[in-house]
Structure 1
Amino acid sequence: MTTLTLVEGDITDQSVDALVNAANSSLLGGGGVDGAIHRRGGPEILAACRALRASRYGKGLPTGRAVATTAGLLDAHWVIHTVGPVHSTTEDRSALLASCYRTSLLVADELGARTIAFPAISTGIYGWPLDDGARIAVETVRATATAATEVRFVVFDDRAHEAFAAHLG
C-alpha cells in the first residue's frame, strides 16, 4: 500500500529513493525546481542529462515523459526528470500533466524506488493553476498502480500546501 504524504520545504532536502525533477525538455537545467536540483545535485546530474541528449533524446525529452539519472550529491539514489506541460486556456493539457506523475511512477518502479518525492509539476513558471495541478497530481498518483511505499508531495509555500492538503483530504 502506498502512503501519500505532504511536506512544505525544499525538495532537494528530501531523503528518498527518487526525487522527481520538474525539468524542461532540454534536460540541461533551468530555473525553479530544475535549477535547484541541478545546483544541489552537482555536475554528475548534468553529465548524465547530456549523455541522454547525446543518445536517446537528441531533440529533448517530450512533455509528459520521464527518464532517470543519478542523483549526484542529493540524498537520493535517482532523479526522475519529467517535462510538464505549459498551461493553456485554449487547449486541455491535463492528460499530459497526469502523464508526468504516471510515467514518473513507472520509472520509479523499474528502478526499484520505494520512496518518491514529487514537486508540484507545472504550477510555477509553466502557469498551471495550483488547485487544479494539485488535484491532477493527487488523483493520478492514487489511480496509478505502483510498488512505492511512500509518495511525498514536496511543496514550496503555504498556498501550495493548502491546495495539496485539500485534495489529500
Structure 2
Amino acid sequence: MFMENKKVLKLTDFQKNEENPFMKQAIEGIENHVVKKYKSSTGSDKKAVVAVADTDTGEVFKTSFIRQIEVDEEQFAKLYLANFAAFFNLSQSAIRVFGYILTCMKPKNDMIIFDRRKCLEYTQYKSDKAIYKGLAELVQSEIIARGPNEYNWFINPLIVFNGDRVS
C-alpha cells in the first residue's frame, strides 16, 4: 500500500509581512470591477445646506436637509465569489479559525488582531495545535497572510472584506 508523505504545515514556513501582500493584486482586481453610479442630490447621503435670504431685511438663514437611513447593525463581511474556490480544500479547523477571523474584522480594514485565547474559545478547541494548523492552511490558500507579529494578520480583500473595498 502506497502512503503519501504529507508535509505538516507550520506557520514558520510562511514569511511575516509588514504590509498586506495581497494589496497590489487587490487594487488591480478591484479597479477592473468599479462602476460609477450617479444619484440625484435628493438621493445623496451628504447634508445639503441651503441659504435663504429675507428680501425685506437682507437677513440670511441657513437650513440643512438630512436624509435618515436605516442600517443593519448585524456584524457582516463580504465573501467574493470570484475567489471562493480558495475555501474548497480547507479542513474543519481552518474553517473554524476563519469563522473566528470573520468576527475580528473591522470595517474598511485589511488587518485583524488575532487573540489565540479568544480563537480557542470561539472554535471550542482544547489546544493550540488545531488553531495553528487552521492558520497555516488559511495562509497557504492565500486567504490570510502573516502580519509583522503574532497578533496582526492581513486578510485578502479579493476574498473577504468588511465594507466597501473601493473607499
The TM-score with structure 2 as length reference comes to: 0.27
The TM-score with structure 1 as length reference comes to: 0.26
